[in-house]
Structure 1
């Protein structure tokens, strides 16, 4: 278990405010900025205007960000934050919120407390360095019954169908569940490589097999977060400036914490990236083909999961085809794309269906209410504190959503989450975040790594990835998935009946 530490809450300039806060708490980047508390009915009308009216239009796709990074972002979020408090209308002190995750990119959502404390996540000795992997349903899938049942491509599950994993939220939709499984298989592949000598240990000083594998997984994951995921979503110049010149606003006195400006605003960019339907595999896709059964809609993604649905263990025809979510050179398959970074969300997120984790919730309204209850400042005030030129009222008022914002004077002082999406649209060409969003994400992610003594950035900043990759010294999600193998199991002849 990690030791219990704490930090002095500081303002944006790093001045201590005299309050000692234990780790596992949230905090503020800009505690001296006034909260923006618009009337709830204004937020409700703005949230309803944030629905994508043309969710199938390819003009709304972000050609720079494949669809898989949407769910990698969700996986990362579950690694660093877990806030169980309900959405409220009254102001909430973020220091009273408990973060049930360590504020570090340490994959505690994957590893839990390790094989000694949570042995049920791992195989029996002498193979207790390996994760338990679940099997798909023993019954044939309804979409394509030619795929063998009981394949090793689901999360391990208990009698009620719920996943037995480090973070149950990674079983709330099938894409993030399959991503969690990919990281489990990544760890297991490294364990086997360390045993047979095909993977180099992280240090000449040998430690236990599990710990060596865990370090390799975490460091390569941290590299992916910093140099693959983040570089696709933020202004590269901002990220490089933070890495080279240091952080100006995220400056904990002792230990890292999760700022509410990050958790409740900037990092909720992923909600804008979600598609209404996915090219999931050859069976569940919107593309024509001989095996196609139906589109992998958001509703179906919820249904084939243990936390939001009932169709578990998943049928074998719901094993993901990673080539359709990340870019693999020369594989002959075009990866699907995320949606643009703008103020418009997939229609299903405006009314999450029964069976979802938040049935009946309008996600844009919920996010706006959450920002209000946490006392987030306006986007313009944050920009001014950062000495950046804010978006003009005319910029905010553009489009049908902006007209609603202007109706309630929210184009003058704008809710931070909506401002960051509007800034991405206006200043990031809807492909990446603008200056305020880029600065918050860059500083927090770099800070989380720098304040974690075990991270590669803190303990060995010259380290480069050592596992096989298409570009030596670099490592991407595509490299990780290629290393694990089984990019498209439903197309592997050994997984089909009659072979």
Structure 2
């Protein structure tokens, strides 16, 4: 189908109801709003001021969001978007950008094109419904050499050590790589349960293959997690409930679902504010005292232990993650680490990301601001007005050392959308969740992606409830998923330790 730019459907008052976006393209939520085009020097100075001066201060932690949700958010992003275009300083038409991911919460980043078309992701017959798993390094780790080697807790890798998975970006850093592995193991566990009869097949799928039955169960439980566990933590509950009960008002595709740039380049970049400078990763790589403590799991190390860095893989066994330190499990005696607060400040490493073979050296806040400019994003105030939400006042924007820089360049009057959404989270979400504009964008897009996907539980069976084991019957969380998979802390399991 040829690209048709800017075609709108309007109501009697001339208000855009939706934008026609060709399948596989990005688009706009607010195509009629004027772009904000500040001088590049102003964005560079503002991005330079978005640096967390006290990244280790626990006062900057978000008590409502465990650290694992930062990387679940990254994993979800890789499931719905893949934009290969570089950050540029010139205007970019979103309808000219190709999204190499289906705009659906369908785990194509995990399943690829399935065992028929990408059989190398799966085991050989008769177990072709199961994913291939990788093994840790044959050499002992330098942190704790007593952990056995060649354990089944790494991504599958080829001769060049690159991960053989549906989306290579899930081998960018070690936490998202271990999360991808958890989903591979989740699928395999569901396959085994369907085979032995301990798990009931999903609705209306008795004629489907074992692989398709497992895939459907995994995807529906994942979609439930996205909507009811992840999204409810990062947005205002009332906003999400309103979208679910009364419908969408702004994300209104006329044909196919698409990813709006106001979402991908602004609202959904909230996760950059949640990143920590270092993590309590497991009993060996932690900043907490323990008999096995070696060193904190810094962001630099987490990037290094990935296939895309060219070093550190297969991972040593002592780098297997301890999920109890990333998500809250009931009565386990381990305190989960927390994400950082949602505000305009990013940890220092993100302001000077070194070249690890994953990204060239880059200042992420500046890059995000420039990306928003190149895509012609409107100001946060204009988006708020279009949504009939009272915008933050210039005085609100000008608060703090970052706000002083914004005011210096008159960006407190009309503010870059990504920065505005973080500032709104700080002031109207108490730094614990997004404010009304950010919450509305995320809620509408996520609900819309589910409602526009005929295979999702929300579109095909909205009364469905999760069926897999959970702490609370009829629901399902990331804690439930990881508990179901098991092996929450393999380096503490006696069977994985040398005598």
TM-score over 0.5 for the alignment? yes
Are 1:26 and 1:95, in contact at CA under 8 Å, matched by a contact in 2? Answer: yes
Structure 1 stretch displaced more, 11-20 or 102-111: 11-20
Q: Compared with structure 1, are the counterparts of its residues 18 and 238 closer, same or farther at alpha carbon in structure 2 (3 Å cutoff)?
A: closer
Cα deviation 1:254-292 (Å, max 9, x = unaligned)? 210000000000000000000000000000000001000
SS at match of 1:139: coil
Partner Cα distance (1:17, 1:383) in 2: 17
Residue of structure 2 equivalent to 1:250: 251
Change (3 A) 1:338 1:211: same
Quote the Cα distance in structure 2 between the aligned partners of 1:109 and 1:475: 21
Q: Does the Cα contact within 8 Å between 2:381 and 2:392 map onto a contact in 1? A: yes
**Deviation at 1:353?**
1.5
* Structure 2 equivalent of residue 365 of structure 1: 366
SS of residue in 2 equivalent to 1:116: coil
* CA 489–366 in structure 1, closer or farther in 2 if over 3 Å, else same: same
Alignment of 1:82-481 (within 5 A): 82-203=82-203, 205-206=205-206, 207-355=208-356, 357-481=358-482
Instruction: Give the paired residue count.
Output: 496
Q: Quick one: distance in 1 between partners of 2:18 and 2:232? A: 35
* TM-score between the two structures when normalised by the length of structure 2: 0.97
The answer on 1:70 being equivalent to 2:106 is no
The answer to whether the Cα contact below 8 Å between 2:87 and 2:367 also exists between their aligned partners in 1 is: yes
Q: Relative to 1, partners in 2 of residues 1:410 and 1:116: Cα closer, same or farther, differing over 3 Å?
A: same
Distance 1:227 1:87, change over 3 A: same
**Aligned-residue CA RMSD (Å):** 1.7
CA shift at 1:7, angstroms?
11
Asked whether the 8 Å contact 1:261–1:376 carries over to 2, the reply is: yes
Whether 1:36 aligns to 2:22 is no
Taking the aligned partners of 2:200 and 2:41, their CA distance within structure 1 comes to 58
> SS state of the match for residue 125, structure 1?
coil
Cα distance in 2 between the residues matched to 1:171 and 1:447:
28
- Alpha-carbon displacement from aligned partner over 1:334-373 (angstroms, at most 9, x marks no partner): 0000000000001000000131522310000000000000
Cα separation, 1, equivalents of 2:304 and 2:29: 38
Could you tell me how far apart the structure 2 residues matched to 1:293 and 1:247 are?
Answer: 50
Output the CA distance in 2 between the equivalents of 1:5 and 1:462. 37
Q: Distance in 2 between matches of 1:53 and 1:426?
A: 19
SS at match of 2:424: helix
**Cα distance in 2 for residues equivalent to 1:18 and 1:333:** 48
State the distance in 1 between where 2:35 and 2:103 align. Answer: 24
* Distance in 2 between residues matched to 1:106 and 1:493, nearest whole Å: 36
Partner of 1:58: 58
2:179 alignment partner, SS class: helix
Residues 130 and 410 of structure 1: is their aligned pair in 2 closer, same or farther, counting only changes over 3 Å? same
| Alignment check: 8 A CA contact 1:371 1:417 kept | yes
Q: Secondary structure of the equivalent of 1:383?
A: helix
Residue ranges of structure 1 left out of the alignment (5+ in a row): none
- Structure 1 residues 372 and 182 mapped into 2: Cα distance closer, same or farther (>3 Å)? same
TM-score using structure 1 length: 0.97
Deviation (angstroms), 1:165: 0.1
- Structure 1 residue 391 displacement after superposition: 0.1
Does structure 2 conserve the Cα–Cα contact (< 8 Å) formed by 1:133 and 1:154? yes
Distance in 2 (CA, whole Å) between partners of 1:56 and 1:212 is 45
Whether the aligned pair in 2 keeps the contact of 1:11 and 1:28 (CA below 8 Å) is no
Which whole-Å CA distance do the structure 1 matches of 2:439 and 2:53 have between them? 27
Q: Deviations over 1:404-438 (max 9, x none)?
A: 00000000000000000000000000000000000
Please state whether the residue corresponding to 2:230 is helix, strand or coil: helix
Q: Which runs of 5+ in 2 are unaligned?
A: none
